[in-house]
Amino acid sequence: MSETLALAKKLVSIDSFTPKDKGCQSIMSNYLSHLNFKIIDLKFGEVDNFWAVRGQQSPVFVFAGHTDVVPVGDESKWYTPPFSAQVKDGMLHGRGTADMKGSLAAMLSATDRFVKDYPNHKGSIGYLITSDEEGPATDGTVKVAQYLKEINQTVDYCLVGEPSATNELGDVIKNGRRGSLNGILKVIGKQGHIAYPHLANNPIHLLIPALDDLCNEVWDEGNEYFPATSFQISNIHSGTGVTNVIPDESDVIFNFRYSTKNTHEQLQSRVCVILDKHNFEYQITWKHSGHPFLTPKGELVNACVDAIKTVKNINTQLSTSGGTSDGRFIAPILKAQVVELGPLNATIHQVDECVSTQDLEDLSDIYYHVLRNILT
């Protein structure tokens, strides 16, 4: 069994549901300590995190990732038990294999190989690991990034091991992510009998034209790296559940995934302008969960593209699609170049999550070549 696969099986066998780490980080930090990394455990609230660094010089290249996993659902529906870490037909099965314990194992084995091949490499290698990526993400990477900023620890380049590939390993890397803004809108009307609408004020009727305007608004047209900003409604609730009562309130939950052509403050302002045009009483609360970030073509992107070409002989595509990741904290707080490069995302958060064992070996090889491109 290869070192990468052995590490992946060891990590996947632990049921580290968010925000519980359950010893995954100890496995990683013990491994890194034998490579002369300085380990700093950073617990914020109930969340385990650690920062590890080898070297004191620039440039500082950091691997970032998370040890927590999402719930498995009904275990009886799994092809193999979700934490048995079994290999069948060339696939490692289990929760977290792709998202993202396989990446963590590949990072460790690549680092071990690189340090042995280049013991006097230039710069420094860091690890920023959390157990709060799949959950609220309030006591994880964001807190560690703030801590690193406070102690003046620079980060020049950061590779996040999130699953990024679509059809084959290395075909897509994420060199940015859209921002995410959530809104909860409450439209206030007046309850009444359905047969006497003139004595009531139906909030659903008030809401519909405003939602139509919001859905048809062109928020921006995107740019070279980002698609146009997307406005999507995820929940609508109103009524008492009977047929003869006009409700007094309607609630809507919506989300913006937005490009660098907008800011969350601008989007909030524009939403309120549209709502105010319709002259009804409303309340709105906002939760901003991530700024957009972008790493243009440069040292880190080029190092990743070259590494993928060397190992897989394919031309990778740069993308900013998909959900949010912890890169949204690292890029703005530490002013680092950030990319996401990991295995296929086809089975993440699904029953029978799995990853190709060959892809894990190739991913370790890619990470090794990224290190060599940056630090030699």
Binding-site residue numbers for Zn(2+) are: 66, 99, 134, 162, 349
Q: Using one digit for the tens of pLDDT, what is the confidence trace for 282-291?
A: 999 999 988 8
State CA 127 to chain mean position distance.
17
Q: Which fold has domain 179-290?
A: Alpha-Beta Plaits (3.30.70)
Catalytic-residue membership of 68: yes
Check if 133 is active-site. Answer: yes
pLDDT of residue 1: 87
Q: Which helix (H) or strand (E) holds 301?
A: helix 299-312
Share of the chain above pLDDT 90, in %: 95
Q: CATH class for domain 3-177+292-375?
A: alpha beta
Q: Where are the domains of the chain?
A: 3-177+292-375, 179-290
**Residue labelled with tokens 């989007």:** 267
Among residues 48, 112, 132, 133, the one annotated as catalytic is: 133
What per-residue string of b and e applies to 210-247 under the rule 16 or more CB within 10 Å gives b?
bbeebeeeebbebeebbebbebeeeeeebeeeeeeebb
pLDDT at 231: 98
The list of the chain residues with pLDDT below 70 reads none
Residues linked to residue 356 through DSSP beta bridges, in sequence order: 91
- Look-up of token digits 């060199």: 175
Q: Is the model's pTM score more than 0.95?
A: no
Asked, colleague to colleague, whether 3-177+292-375 and 179-290 share their fold, the answer is no
What is the rounded distance in angstroms from the CA atom of residue 304 to the CA atom of residue 207?
48
Which candidate in 48, 68, 326, 353 is catalytic? 68
